Amino acid sequence: MLNREKIILKTDEEIEFMRQANRLVGMTLGELSKHIKPGVTTLELDKIAHDFIHDHGAVPTFLGYGGFPNSICTSVNENVVHGIPNKTPLLDGDIISVDCGATKQGYTGDSAYTFCVGNVDDKVKDLLRVTKESLYIGIEQAKENNRIGDIGHAIQQYCELHNYTVVRELVGHGIGRNMHEAPEVPNYGRRGTGPIIKNGMCIAIEPMINMGSKNVIFENDGWTVRTKDRKPSAHFEHTIAIRNGKADILSTFEFIQ
């Protein structure tokens, strides 16, 4: 498991390379936000992301990763993560999580955002709002001498306070030259547990929060994970570095319209 692997602390120079890759991921999500509307297909979004990343001197990290066939993960409604882009048009009222990775100058960026498609039910919008807020609440705990468990505890407490549930089978992760490095970063847990957070640690924090049950199903395509009860799920992700004792957010949502 990842937790048995050595945690690779990054230099300031490496973190700046990672910032460039993560900024490109943020720009890609921003470009996609212009096109997410009823009638567009996730396969069309995939091509936009693929071309945009290449046009900016990078490669899509996800393409071919473990055999994944596309450049972004597109998870609609009850799909939690790892959805494969397809030819099905998005419908008014859908939500779609787009998870995107880019590798530039040997370093990786990784970020995700859940978008509304047209007019979305207010209850679903609340799920998105709380999930996004929980990401930043988790990031607040990512500081020197805290532990990884402090991050998950903060996310879990906040989401459960709002009567949502936290997916257990999927977690955040360390990141650097590889998309998935040690340590694992769960979105649940107990304070004071897990690896100690140190300067130079780079991690992707990514709450995956369900409106209904926390239970999920792994689909037969080998990738897509959906909620067992088919209720909506939201997913937001930032890559951060620990610098000067606190979290420095390397990815960005600033380009999203």
Residue of 222, 206, 217 whose CA lies nearest to 84:
222
Residue 2: which pLDDT band, with cuts at 50, 70 and 90? very low
pLDDT on residue 3 = 47
CA–CA separation, 234 vs 27, rounded Å? 21
Helix, strand, coil tally for the chain in percent (to 5): 30, 30, 45
pLDDT on residue 209 = 99
CA–CA separation, 177 vs 175, rounded Å? 7
Report percent pLDDT > 70 for the chain.
Answer: 98
Q: Between the CA atoms of 146, 151, 157 and 159, what dihedral angle is there, to the nearest 10 degrees?
A: 160
Helix 148-161 × helix 122-140 angle, to 10° = 150
Helix 42-55 × helix 12-33 angle, to 10° = 140
> Is residue 256 in a domain?
no
Buried b / exposed e over 153-169, threshold 16 CB at 10 Å, is bbbbebbeeeebbbbee
Q: How far is CA 135 from CA 37, 66, 210, in A?
A: 25, 26, 14
Tell me which DSSP letter residue 150 carries: H
Whichever domain contains 9, its CATH number is 3.90.230.10
> Is residue 137 in a domain?
yes
Q: Return the number of other C-beta atoms located less than 10 Å from residue 47's C-beta.
A: 14
- Name the one residue in this structure whose structure tokens are 């607040």: 140
> Is residue 254 in a domain?
no
pLDDT on residue 4 = 58
CA–CA separation, 155 vs 136, rounded Å? 9
> Is residue 232 in a domain?
yes
Residue 152: which pLDDT band, with cuts at 50, 70 and 90? very high
- CA–centroid distance for 12 within its chain: 23
When divided into structural domains, the chain yields a total of 1
> Is residue 54 in a domain?
yes
pLDDT on residue 1 = 39
Tell me the per-residue pLDDT of 155-167, one tens digit each, with 9 for 90 and over: 999 999 999 999 9
The mean pLDDT of the chain is: 97
Q: What is the CA radius of gyration of the chain?
A: 17
> Is residue 241 in a domain?
yes
Tell me the per-residue pLDDT of 164-182, one tens digit each, with 9 for 90 and over: 999 999 999 999 999 999 9
> Is residue 78 in a domain?
yes
Q: Look at residue 27 and tell me whether its pLDDT is greater than 60.
A: yes
Q: Residue 94 sits in which domain range?
A: 2-249
Give mean pLDDT, residues 133-149.
98
Q: Does residue 141 contact residue 116 with C-beta atoms inside 8 Å?
A: no
Residue of 250, 190, 217 whose CA lies nearest to 14:
250
Tell me the per-residue pLDDT of 221-237, one tens digit each, with 9 for 90 and over: 999 999 999 999 999 99
> Is residue 185 in a domain?
yes
Q: Write a three-state SS string for 107-147.
A: EEEEEEEEEECCCCCHHHHHHHHHHHHHHHHHHHCCCCCCE
Residue 5: which pLDDT band, with cuts at 50, 70 and 90? confident
